[in-house]
Structure 1
C-alpha cells in the first residue's frame, strides 16, 4: 500500500513492527545473495574471524540504515518522499539478510549491540526528518557517502580468498551509490556540519565495537 494511505497511527505501527523485525534478526531478501554462485574457499581460522568481524560491522551498518530510513519515512513531509524512503529501506533489507546469512556461513553471529545502534540511528534519522525533506535527503546523501567509503575499505581488507564476502560487499556498495544519487537528484540539501560530525562519531563507534561484539 502506498504511504499516502497510511494514517499517523498506521505509520507508528509499521515503524514499530519494522524495528522489532530488524533488531530480532528477521529479514527477508527480495534478491538472491550476490554470492549464490561463488564457491566458499578454504579460510584459515584467523581469516574467517577477520571476515566475520568485517561482515558483522556491515550488518550493524544495515541495522542502522533500517533505523534511518524507518525514522525518515515516518516523519517525511511528503508522500512521494515517504515512498522513496520505504523503497530504499526494502532494498537495504536485502543487505541485512545477505550479511546475516554470511555470518552464519562463517560460523559467527550478529552484534549484540544492534539494538543500541538502531536506537541511535533512529534518533539521528528523526532529527534529519524534522529539519525538512530537503535536509532529510541530504542526510541520505551523507550517510551513503560514508557507507560507500567504509565498504570500499572492507573490499580491500577482506582476506584474498573470501570471494563470497567480497561479492556481497561489492553489491552493497553499488546499491548505496544508487541510493545516494537518487537522494541527490531529488533535491538534497547540504547536511549541517554538527549533524555530519555526529554521524561520523557514531560510525566510528560502530566500526570500533561491532567488529568484536
Structure 2
C-alpha cells in the first residue's frame, strides 16, 4: 500500500532538490580520474569533452529527480531501497561530472531545473503505476544511460583519460543498477514507452550539450 509522505519527508525531499541543483555533490568513493594527469587538449577538443560531460551531469540531475519521485511512490520496501541506493550512487556521478566540468573550464546546463521537474514527475507516475513497472522504468533508464555513456567513450578525445575514466565507471554503475532492478522483478516496458524515453533523452542531450 502506498503511504503518503510526512511533513519531515517532504522537507527532506525538498532538501534533496536544493542540494542536487545548487550545492556541490560529495563522493564517498575516490574520483575515478584522481590519479590521472590532465591531457593536452586543443580548444575544440576541450569544448567537445565539456559538452559531453555537461550532458552526463545533466543526466545525473535527471536521475536524482527520477529516483526521488519513484522512491516516494514505491510500495514495497525492497523496491524503495533499490531506488534509494541507485540515487546515492548517482550523487557520486554528480560530483565526478561537476568537478570535470570545472576542470575543463565549462558550465552546467541552464536547463537543469526544467529537466529535474520533468524527471521527478515521470518518477512519481512510474511509482504510482506499480512497483514492477517502477522497477522496469529504472531498468530501461539504466540500459539507455549505459548505451549513451558507451557512445561517449567513442566520442571523447582519445588522450582525455580523465573524462574517459569517469564515464567508464559511470557505465559500470548504471549496468549494475539495471541488473538489480531486474533481479527485484522489473517488468519489461512496452516498446512505445521505451522509444518515447529515447526520444526525450535525445532532446535533452542536444540542448544540454550546447547550453
TM-score interval, smaller chain: over 0.9
Partner of 1:74: 72
Q: Give the superposition deviation at 1:24.
A: 1.1
Provide the C-alpha distance between the structure 1 equivalents of 2:165 and 2:146, rounded to a whole number of angstroms. Answer: 15
Residue 139 of structure 1 corresponds to: 137
Q: Distance in 2 between matches of 1:26 and 1:15?
A: 17
Counterpart of 1:175 (choices 164, 173, 176) is 173
Q: Does the aligned pair in 2 maintain the 1:103–1:110 contact within 8 Å? A: yes
Equivalent-residue separation in structure 2 for 1:72 and 1:10 (angstroms): 18
**Displacement after TM superposition at 1:110 (Å):** 0.7
> Which of 116, 120, 138 is equivalent to 1:122?
120
Partners of 2:5 and 2:72 within 8 A in 1: no
How big is each residue's C-alpha offset from its partner over 1:98-148, in whole Å with a ceiling of 9 and x where there is no partner?
Answer: 000000000001111100011111111111101111100000110001100
d(CA) in 2 for partners of 1:163, 1:182: 29
Please list, as runs of the form range in 1=range in 2, the aligned pairs for 1:47-196 lying within 5 A after superposition: 47-196=45-194
1:207 counterpart = 2:205 = yes
CA distance in 2, matches of 1:204, 1:75: 27
TM superposition shift of 1:11: 2.6
Structure 1 vs Structure 2 CA RMSD: 1.3
The number of residues matched between the two structures is 208
Question: Hey, what's the Cα distance between the residues in 2 that align with 1:7 and 1:53?
Answer: 37
Distance 1:168 1:125 in 2: 26
Q: Which deviates more from structure 2 when the two are superposed, residues 185-194 or residues 61-70? A: 185-194
Q: In structure 2, do the counterparts of structure 1 residues 58 and 172 end up closer, same or farther at CA, with 3 Å as the change threshold?
A: same
Shift of 1:192: 3.2
TM-score when scaled to structure 1? 0.94
Give 1:194 deviation, angstroms: 4.3
- The question of whether the paired residues in 2 share the 8 Å contact of 1:15 and 1:74 is answered with no
Task: Give the equivalent residue in structure 2 for 1:14.
Answer: 12
Contact persistence 1:11–1:74 (CA under 8 A): no
Give structure 1 stretches of 5+ with no counterpart.
1-5
Deviation of 1:165 after TM superposition, in Å, equals: 0.1
- TM-score scaled to structure 2, two decimals? 0.95
Distance 1:25 1:113, change over 3 A: farther
